[in-house]
Amino acid sequence: MKLKHPFKNGKAGKSWFTNFEARNESLSIRKPQKLCTSRRRMMTQDVVKSYFDDLGKILTKEGIKDTPTRIWNMDESGFHLEHTPSSIVARKGTSNVPGRVSPNRENITVVACINAAGVSMPPMFIVKGKTPKSLFAFSPDEGPSNSIWTYQAKAWMEDVLAVKWFREIFLKWCGPERPQILIMDQHHSHEVLDLLMLAREEGIIILGLPPHTSHWLQPLDKGCFGPLTKRYNTACSQFMSKGPNYMVSKATFAKLFHQAWSEAMVPQNIMKGFLVTGIYPFNPAAIPGTAFACAVASKLLPPVPSTEPTNQATSSESMQETPTVTETETPSATTVTTETSTALPPAEVKSLEDVCFPSTSTTPPMPVIEMSFDEVEELLRILEPGDSMVELMPVQIEDQGSGDSMKAVPPDHGSGDSAKGILPVDEVFSLERSSIKHPQKRGMRFLATAC
């Protein structure tokens, strides 16, 4: 499309944007924040509404809606020995302003837990190592009081450590009142069976946040981890500015982190985290509309259209009652319920092979959606192995030269139905793992249709 414009050679001059910015004072240049595709898709109004509905029911049923001391949030965050230098004052026009940092880039995971009354539990530190000797280089006595130090091969949170934290920190510091609620994200270590069984025995309710929504719904992310990271970087910068021999290391980490912890984990920051996430006081409207601006509210699979004429009466003998799967997102898991609806006879439903590679048939084609691996992964979060809700056909898209004409070619994946390109949901898991092992297949896409 060609539009008329006053620019020479089709380009704006150097002063055009300056004048444009002066005419529109409400506009400014902003650096966008990182937002992965999964977070953009999951942060929808339906998902958040379902989460707040369940949270409200639990708080009301257990009688803890107005008891902030019984509402807890737990999460973990990583801190590097190589900190980010804090801002300094420098002469204008200086092109290079270096900031001295530690040569060690090792990561330490910190597990934190807070409640809506502004109280924080002692943290748990996870350092990199495979034996208790990994802790010898640190100074745990200089860290936050009553904290626990442990180790893991990559300094990551894992199932055993989650149970250890719940038993040795949470149950010890949460108090004797029951029931209490602990809100966490759905990391696999937070949903280990031993932890859930222990929580049930102790009268602790575990509530999982919807997947990929913690950047808006997690109190620790919204109120505490930001100030904590900033205070840690400031403490490290001030420490290293004392002289060339001062270095952030394993021996000095505990003392520097203790300083940042005492300054950041204050009641004002903690209670603000629960306030802006709408947990306490309970307020689903606390999540602003801008949180859903990037969400794509569309279904992966559209309903199968009817091929029957609208003015033709259909007898009860030619129709059958078939269960329709309805997906309902809940904070802890995806609940699948069944409702009874009237559908076309099975003979009217065409297979995906006939849709993509039709014969000389006059039957209207079924709707087909092209999906990437990321979209298939989202679909698999809803479906379970054994479901026959959809048919998935892996295809390779070949450019025919014009740039507009694309051809779907079913690849060879074995024998039987798979050789034809028809894959039941059960086989998608193995296909996905196989494709991940072979980087050259990552560009493969899928075609999906209801069946």
Over the stretch 137-146, which tens digit does the pLDDT of each residue have? 999 999 999 9
pLDDT, tens digit, 9 for 90 and up, residues 172-195: 999 999 999 999 999 999 989 999
What proportion of the chain, given as a percentage, has pLDDT over 70? 65
d(CA 332, CA 184) in angstroms, rounded, equals 9
pLDDT, tens digit, 9 for 90 and up, residues 217-276: 999 999 999 999 999 999 999 999 999 999 999 999 999 999 999 999 999 999 999 999
| Lowest pLDDT segment from 56-60, 158-162, 369-373 | 369-373
pLDDT, tens digit, 9 for 90 and up, residues 285-315: 999 988 988 775 444 444 545 544 444 443 4
**Residue (of 68, 125, 110, 441) closest to 272 by Cα position:** 68
Instruction: Pull the structure tokens for residue 252.
Output: 């000095």
pLDDT at residue 5 greater than cutoff 50? yes
pLDDT, tens digit, 9 for 90 and up, residues 101-137: 999 999 999 999 999 999 999 999 999 999 999 999 9
What is the model's pLDDT at position 284? Answer: 96
Through-space distance between the first and last CA atoms of the chain, rounded to whole angstroms: 41
d(CA 184, CA 209) in angstroms, rounded, equals 6
Question: What sign has the CA pseudo-torsion 374, 376, 377, 379?
Answer: positive
Q: Strands across the sheet with 107-115, in order?
A: 148-152, 124-128, 107-115, 71-80, 180-184, 204-208
**Residue (of 132, 134, 110, 138) closest to 122 by Cα position:** 110
Question: Do 391 and 431 touch, CB atoms closer than 8 A?
Answer: no
- Residue 416's pLDDT band, with cuts at 50, 70 and 90, is very low
The neighbouring-strand residues paired with 415 are none
Instruction: Pull the structure tokens for residue 112.
Output: 């934190």
Domain ranges of the chain: 37-84+104-292, 345-450
**Residue (of 41, 154, 101) closest to 381 by Cα position:** 41
What is the model's pLDDT at position 364? Answer: 44
d(CA 317, CA 248) in angstroms, rounded, equals 78
pLDDT, tens digit, 9 for 90 and up, residues 194-203: 999 999 999 9
**Residue (of 144, 139, 41, 152) closest to 374 by Cα position:** 41
At what angle are helices 373-382 and 425-437 packed, to 10 degrees?
Answer: 140
Number of neighbours of residue 97 by Cβ within 10 angstroms = 11
pLDDT at residue 163 greater than cutoff 70? yes
d(CA 216, CA 222) in angstroms, rounded, equals 7
The secondary structure element, H or E, covering residue 329 is strand 320-329
d(CA 283, CA 298) in angstroms, rounded, equals 26
**CA separation, residue 316 to residues 305, 306, 344 (Å):** 19, 16, 11
**Residue (of 160, 166, 164, 156) closest to 206 by Cα position:** 166
d(CA 148, CA 153) in angstroms, rounded, equals 17
Number of neighbours of residue 382 by Cβ within 10 angstroms = 16
User: What pTM does this model have?
Assistant: 0.64
**CA separation, residue 187 to residues 7, 58, 74 (Å):** 53, 21, 11
The neighbouring-strand residues paired with 41 are none
Mean pLDDT of 397-413: 38
The answer regarding whether domain 37-84+104-292 maps to CATH 3.30.420.10 reads yes
pLDDT at residue 60 greater than cutoff 50? yes
Instruction: Pull the structure tokens for residue 222.
Output: 């919204």
Phi and psi torsions of 160, nearest 5°: -65, -40
d(CA 198, CA 166) in angstroms, rounded, equals 9
**Residue (of 9, 155, 4) closest to 79 by Cα position:** 155
| H helix and E strand count, the chain | 15, 12
CB proximity list for 84: less than 8 A, separation 6 or greater: 233
d(CA 195, CA 111) in angstroms, rounded, equals 16
Helix, strand, or coil here: 397?
strand
Average pLDDT score, the chain: 76
d(CA 204, CA 116) in angstroms, rounded, equals 16
Instruction: Pull the structure tokens for residue 335.
Output: 């609940």
More confident residue, 357 or 152: 152
The secondary structure element, H or E, covering residue 339 is strand 334-343
The secondary structure element, H or E, covering residue 133 is none
Pairing of strands 390-399, 445-450: antiparallel
**Residue (of 321, 313, 326) closest to 343 by Cα position:** 321
Angle at 237 between CA 232 and CA 241, to 5 degrees: 150
